[in-house]
Amino acid sequence: MRALWLPLLVALMFDPQLCRAQSTSSEAARTTIGGQWFLSYRVGETGGEGLSGFTVDRGYIVIRHRLTEHLSGRITPDVSVDREGDGEGDLEMRLKYAYVDYAFADLGFFTDPHVEFGLVHRPWLDYEEHLAYYRVQGTMFLERNDIFNSGDYGATLFALLGGEMDDEYRERVNPQYPGRYGSFAVGLYNGGGYHGIERNKNKTLEGRLTLRPLPDVMPGLQFSYQGVYGRGNQVDTPDWTVSLLFASWESEHLVLTGQRYWGNGNFKGTAVDSAGKALPQDGFSLFTELRLGYPHLSLIARYDFFDEYPDGDGGGSKRLIVGVAYHIEGHSKLLLDYDVESRDGFETAESRLLKFGVEFNF
């Protein structure tokens, strides 16, 4: 797989003859190639061991093509460091997305409805990552705690609610998910994620509903609910349920988000007790971005609390992240952050990492 994909992608990116041929073709207007990668240096300690090193955290090549007015497709190879097995330490390539997208005409209150089929976006993480544009720091709260990840094999229906926000809001605050009264996404999936082999015949139902109640008075205020009902990706199919309440506020200079999660098990089917029964879990996360000297400089802070044994005496895991970002162009940025995690108190933290990260996005 890697041997086939990597030369092709390098050729697409750097061969001038291919680029010229594409630019002179009528297909060029319907085909786009983009990329996003995260590079970092981190120093500190985790699990009682010292850590210091440069790494490629993640790399994506995004290829899109519009076949007709309504039908388009996307394929996104995903490069990451292999953390296990004979290839440990190698850069491995897999697919994160590979889908066709059919766009329907607006239907009453539903604006820009479209459906993805194949290896698709799940309803939640793409939405959250377009509120907190700091994937360069690491994964979002629920993904970091192994509740689910961003993509899966299946189908997802998306739509905005009640038209779109005006051009000024989309240009100055956020162009993504700009439904005047909110948006929704719902889908059916294998459940094991984009890099999980399907281990049972169960399918997982997932959905997100986002409401923007006061688009004229408080346009940046939104409330969301995310729900999941299914089974963990194991042969013995332990339960997996998710309920998530989420509130966000966006303006040109400030972003605030807060979320409260509770559920049973996880998408891998590994959050179980000795009898194989899904464990109850809960937690919350708070995030803020203060944009100073906008659009170039930002301060960020995030606090996570996750309890995988809320009925026990474990006390849960606490994480604090603070950082300063310099925005270069678009979503390309530099980020210096400090990440500390502990089960007892931050003075006795199990993990302390200082990280310098680079996001290159085009």
Distance CA 281, CA 178 (A): 32
pLDDT in tens, the chain (362 residues): 444 444 444 444 444 444 444 444 455 569 999 999 999 999 999 888 899 999 999 999 999 999 999 999 999 999 988 777 776 777 889 999 999 999 999 999 999 999 999 999 999 999 999 999 999 999 999 999 999 999 999 999 999 999 999 999 999 999 999 999 999 999 999 999 998 889 999 999 999 999 999 999 999 999 999 999 999 999 999 999 999 999 999 999 999 999 999 999 999 999 999 999 999 999 999 999 999 976 799 999 999 999 987 666 667 899 999 999 999 998 999 999 999 999 877 777 889 999 999 999 99
pLDDT in the model for residue 310: 67
Q: What is the CATH number of domain 2-361?
A: 2.40.160.10
pLDDT in the model for residue 29: 65
pLDDT in the model for residue 47: 81
pLDDT in the model for residue 196: 87
Distance CA 125, CA 310 (A): 24
The DSSP string of 219-288 is TTEEEEEEEEEEE-SSTT--EEEEEEEEEEEE-SSEEEEEEEEEEES-TTS--B-TTSPBPEEEEEEEEE
- Asked if 353 contacts 51 with a C-beta cutoff of 8 angstroms, the reply is yes
Q: Which alpha helices (H) appear in the chain, and where do they start and end?
A: 2-14, 16-24, 125-129, 141-144, 167-172
pLDDT in the model for residue 11: 45
> Taking each helix axis from N to C terminus, what angle separates 2-14 and 16-24, rounded to the nearest 10 degrees?
70
pLDDT in the model for residue 308: 84
Domain locations in the chain as residue ranges: 2-361
pLDDT in the model for residue 17: 47
- Asked if 221 contacts 212 with a C-beta cutoff of 8 angstroms, the reply is yes
Compute CA 204 distance to the chain's CA centroid, rounded to the nearest angstrom: 18
Distance CA 341, CA 64 (A): 38
Name the β-bridge partners of 257: 248, 287
How many other CB atoms sit within 10 Å of the CB of residue 237? 19
Degrees, nearest 5: CA angle 65-134-350: 135
Q: Which amino acid is it at 359? A: E
- The helix/strand count (H/E) of the chain reads as 5, 16
